[in-house]
Amino acid sequence: MVDQPKRPDPGLRLLTLAAAASVLWLASYALATKLLHRYPDSAMARGALAALGILGFVLWLVAIARLIRVQDEFERRIHLIALAVAFGATALLVFAADFLQRAGFVDRLLLRTIWMAMIALWWIAAMVVARVCR
Amino acid sequence: MKNRLRVLRAEQNWSQAELGMRVGVSRQAINAIENGKYDPGLPLGMKIARVFARRVEETFELEEKD
């Protein structure tokens, strides 16, 4: 029997791509955050650093979207439900934080808290939904 | 929606993973369908019926609550 050359698994390839995009995003975020305050007088430098941070996030989003697209309909349904849960929970979080802020119980809500919470809630919800559905 | 996947799979002596491979979904998806946790879309339902050489109505059945 002749050994057939192994073709790379497209799912595994995209998983690697998503992992690389995650590392790239975190690196660009860390770098942009670290350097942003070093150039208070240069709008161009600050703009470029902000663009670097945003570009890293866009690349990560594209990689994750492609990873979800190659999954089967069941896995895609899990992510759809998880995204809906994350959206609702984040909206609730922001709504509650707004009221608590106006009532004087909490300080100003940092914008980065919102996207961090949304991503964390998405993955937590995906794990919970996957467990419930299996 | 009820389905006869477990019975039809047993008749063919296929594992969930093998059936999943034949219709292009994960073992977890087949498990969820068998346990009634997930109703497949029309294309997947038709693919499943086709690999068992059955009609869709012989593989899946609507319940009163559906």
**What CA–CA distance (Å, rounded) separates A66 from B49?**
29
Nearest chain A CA: its distance from B37 CA (Å): 5
What integer pLDDT is reported at residue A6 of this predicted model?
A: 53
- Residue B11 to residues A58, A93, B39, B40: CA-CA distances in angstroms? 48, 51, 22, 21
Distance, CA of B59 to CA of A77 (rounded, Å): 22
Q: Do A72 and B40 touch (CB under 8 A)?
A: no
User: A32: which 2 tokens?
Assistant: 């942009």
Query: Do A6 and A66 fall within a single domain?
Result: yes
Extract the tokens encoding B47: 């693919």
- Let me know whether A43 and A99 are in one domain: no
**How much of chain A exceeds pLDDT 90, in percent?**
59
Q: Are B25 and B39 in contact (CB under 8 A)?
A: no
pTM of the model: 0.80
pLDDT at position A109 is: 84
Q: Which domains does chain B have, with CATH numbers?
A: 2-54 (1.10.260.40)
Residues in CB range of A24: below 8 A, 6 or more apart: A56, A59, A60
The residue range of the domain holding A36 is 1-70
Instruction: Please indicate, yes or no, whether residues A10 and A44 belong to a single structural domain of this protein.
Output: yes
Q: How far apart are CA A39 and CA A84, in angstroms?
A: 39
pLDDT tens digits, B16-49: 999 999 999 999 999 999 999 999 999 999 999 9
Residue of chain B whose alpha carbon sits nearest to that of A74: B29
* Res A2 pLDDT > 80: no
Could you tell me if A32 and A78 lie in one domain? no
Element (H, E) at B60: strand B60-61
Q: How many domains does chain A have?
A: 2
Which ipTM did the prediction report?
0.86
Alpha helices (runs of H) in A1-110, residue ranges in sequence order: 10-36, 43-69, 73-102
Let me know whether A37 and A55 are in one domain.
yes
Q: What is the pLDDT of residues A27-38, one digit of tens each?
A: 999 999 999 888
CA distance A6 to chain B (A): 17
- pLDDT tens, position by position, A44-91: 999 999 999 999 999 999 999 988 888 899 999 999 999 999 999 999
Question: How many contacts does A have with B, using Cβ atoms within 8 A?
Answer: 32
The answer to whether residues A55 and A82 belong to one domain is: no
